[in-house]
Amino acid sequence: MYLLDTNAMIVLHEDLKSWKNEENLFTTILNVIEFPIALRMDVLTILFPLPESYIKGIEYSTNLRKKGTPIATIDIMIGVLAVEHGLTLVTDDKDFTALQKIESKLNICNTSKFIDSLLSKKK
């Protein structure tokens, strides 16, 4: 199961329109705000942060700042939702590697590897 970051949706959006949700694909409301076209992608389930998600986001932000590697709040919250839901984050955004260093449960896959894995399953 995968959570698509905005950059992955931009790359994949034409293809996603015709897919069935065989891969259990997710995104967040934050990504939809950045890329409203995602609303046309029926294959995606949209996740929303809960109050406790924001508490976890504050913890991540505090730890990242202590390490001298702050990242954007939206990216922190996308990472929180990926971890909370046990999803692999599909992204090409290098900022998430800083988050992965403080949260070992954050799994990341770049977009090209994600596409390759889907294509190999279709064969």
**What pLDDT digit, counting tens, does each position of 21-56 carry?**
566 899 999 999 999 999 888 888 999 999 999 999
Going from the first residue of the chain to its last (123 residues), give the mean pLDDT of each consecutive group of 10, the final group possibly shorter: 94 73 85 93 92 98 97 98 98 96 97 82 58
Say what the pLDDT of residue 122 is: 58
Query: What is the 8-class DSSP label of residue 59?
Result: H
Which amino acid is it at 88? T
Retrieve residue 82's tokens.
């990926």
Q: What are phi and psi of 47, to 5 degrees?
A: -100, 145
Say what the pLDDT of residue 41 is: 84
Residues β-bridged to residue 109: 90
What DSSP string describes 6-45? Answer: HHHHHHHHHHHTT--GGG-EEEEHHHHHH-GGGGG-TTEE
Say what the pLDDT of residue 118 is: 73
66 burial via Cβ count (<10 Å: 0-12, 13-18, 19+): exposed
This prediction has a pTM of 0.91
Go through the domains of the chain in sequence order and give each one's CATH number: 2-116 (3.40.50.1010)
- Beta-carbon contacts of 32 under 8 Å, excluding residues fewer than 6 positions away, are 38, 39, 46
Say what the pLDDT of residue 100 is: 96
Residues β-bridged to residue 89: 3, 108
